[in-house]
Amino acid sequence: MIKKVAGPLVIAELTEAKKADLVFVGKQRLIGEVIELRGSSASIQVYEETAGLKVGDPVESTGAPLSVELGPGMIGAIFDGIQRPLDKLMLQAGAFIPRGLYVDPLSRTKKWPFVPLAAIGDEVKEGDILGTVQETALVSHKIMVPPGISGKIEKLDSGDFTIEETIAVVSGRPVAMLQKSPVRRRRRLGKKEPVSVPLVTGQRVVDTLFPIGKGGAACVPGPFGAGKTVIQHQFAKWSDADIIVYVGCGERGNEMTDVLKEFPELKDPKSGRPLMERTILIANTSNMPIAAREASVYTGAAIAEYFRDMGYHVALFADSTSRWAEALREMSGRLEEMPGEEGYPAYLGSRLADFYERAGGGRCQGKPERDGSLTIIGSVSPPGGDLSEPVVQNTLRVAKVFWGLDETLAHKRHFPAINWLLSYSLYADNLGRYFNEKVSENFSRLRQQALKLLAQEADLEEIVRLVGLESISPKEQLVLFVAKSLREDFLYQSAFDPVDQYSSLGKQHLILQTILDLYQLGEKALGLGVEIESIRKIGVMEKIARARFSTEAEILAIGPLLTDEFNNLRSGKNG
């Protein structure tokens, strides 16, 4: 029975409840979760608008924690923060969804073609693959033995089944395609491995300078208008993950509308199939109840871990964790907990760590042996772009990649607006071996050289502003000239150009190699007395500027032209 209502927080008399239990609140059976117990008094965060609830209304516990339904039918779906299918809700209630309306996340009537991979008599345990369902052209959904079940397969059928029908019997226990998993409980890997393979995003500033590995965690902080959401969209469209889980956590409704309109029309770059055939969207916009916003990132993580356990490389995008932290702060305030820094709860750091630590890769549980990974990329929206605020700082303690967005770069229309002086990747050394073996043996060296030139440019720009360009040495002028080419011809990338919006690792290496060859040839030419002005005017610069729109063969052809131009400069000087 309800004793108090304070926004999304309801205090109720509930004798049989456990912490984290899912409950139904009021006569409309609003969905909520027990977050605190004091004797027989339970504090419940309600995932829907609580207007109209009154003291004395009934509260009923389900006896189970908030869980997600896992099984065929998730790919291509659009859920809210607690996994209610928004498209099905709209069919029932229209654009304005009434409170208390619940629809099963996955269809109970659709039949799926199940193909067994195991055999009757096999000994199986948690995580072993019983068979597959071809869910989309891009995703083969592997049906695994659920947690808590092991033994000998006594029955295993093939054919078309709904997700609730029994497909197998293991030691007397029926197994269906539908599983349920608590959202706040991690699914374990069989063996966690160090990050060693990059998540290729096709964005040059990321893949070359500040790479992230499959199974890694990254933070994308930046002020309003710096391009956090655009970068998340680019990663979701072009990264070489097998499965994409995109969580719009507290973002503006128009941004989620763009996602919902764009993604069904996009093509997967590897297969040419619709991108939605490997994507799951979770939409919890800023005007939706804040309690469901807090749950949405866990819902996304539980779904992502499920596909990782099948042996897929999954990328989870959370946009934005600041809005999630604000939901934590509001609920903490209503619980009258002691506030921490800037009003956030004292446990903000541990909650962020718990979320980002769900990233990882390695050997999955069960047989056949397979490797999977979960990469988490979270954007942060600090007020006024203040990177010292608690959400950013606590995120940086657990995320090993920092892509710092710069409002100044965004206003200059330089995208991605990632500041190369602020950003870093702690995976760069681990991934260096992969780049050197798979792309080019000098890839890591070129990366270090490019970062050094960009840092030198930043130091020289201050001197130039004070005393002018002509007051510095020709060699320093060359640094500025080449660094400008790095910024404009390599780091800048157009999301709207059909060629430039995605750049392969091979193409990235060739463009970077060409620009750094320009620097080395320029240094030699200056040593032989060639004027810096002559170097600035070489005709091949136009081809370098157009390299990002060119094919790899066309970029390779620039190298000999560059060498010929410098040979002509030197011979002209000697003559």
Binding residue ranges:
222-229
Question: CA-to-CA distance for 245 and 236, rounded, in angstroms?
Answer: 8
Give CA separation, 571 vs 329, 402, 558, in Å. Answer: 70, 47, 20
Strand partners of residue 10 = 5, 44
Question: CA-to-CA distance for 215 and 299, rounded, in angstroms?
Answer: 18
Question: CA-to-CA distance for 256 and 366, rounded, in angstroms?
Answer: 37
DSSP H helical ranges for 390-531: 390-396, 407-411, 428-438, 443-467, 474-485, 505-527
DSSP H helical ranges for 148-264: 204, 228-238, 253-262
The residue assigned the tokens 């660094």 is 483
Give CA separation, 179 vs 154, 160, 301, 313, 453, in Å. Answer: 20, 18, 15, 20, 53
- Determine how many CB atoms are found less than 10 A away from the CB of residue 137: 12
Q: Name the amino acid, one letter, at 14.
A: L
Give CA separation, 22 vs 44, 58, 59, 82, in Å. Answer: 9, 14, 11, 11
Specify whether the CB–CB gap between 249 and 284 falls below 8 A. yes
Question: CA-to-CA distance for 232 and 216, rounded, in angstroms?
Answer: 15
Q: How is residue 245 written in tokens?
A: 């889980």
Specify whether the CB–CB gap between 22 and 31 falls below 8 A. yes
Question: CA-to-CA distance for 538 and 451, rounded, in angstroms?
Answer: 24
Torsion of CA 442, 446, 452, 458, to 10 degrees: 180
Strand partners of residue 360 = 374
Question: CA-to-CA distance for 307 and 142, rounded, in angstroms?
Answer: 9
Burial of 260 (0-12, 13-18, 19+ CB in 10 A): middle
Q: Which of 354, 361, 344, 362 is nearest to 378 (CA)?
A: 354
Question: CA-to-CA distance for 530 and 521, rounded, in angstroms?
Answer: 11
The residue assigned the tokens 């299918």 is 85
The greatest distance separating any two alpha carbons of the chain, rounded to the nearest whole angstrom, comes to 99
Instruction: Quote the radius of gyration of the chain (alpha carbons, Å).
Output: 27
b/e per residue 283-296 (b: at least 16 CB within 10 A): bbbbebbbbbbbbb
At residue 202, φ and ψ (nearest 5 deg) are: 80, 0
Question: CA-to-CA distance for 82 and 27, rounded, in angstroms?
Answer: 20
What residue numbers does the annotated binding site for ATP cover? Answer: 222-229
Strand positions, DSSP E, 177-287: 179-182, 191-193, 217-221, 243-249, 279-284
Question: CA-to-CA distance for 548 and 375, rounded, in angstroms?
Answer: 28
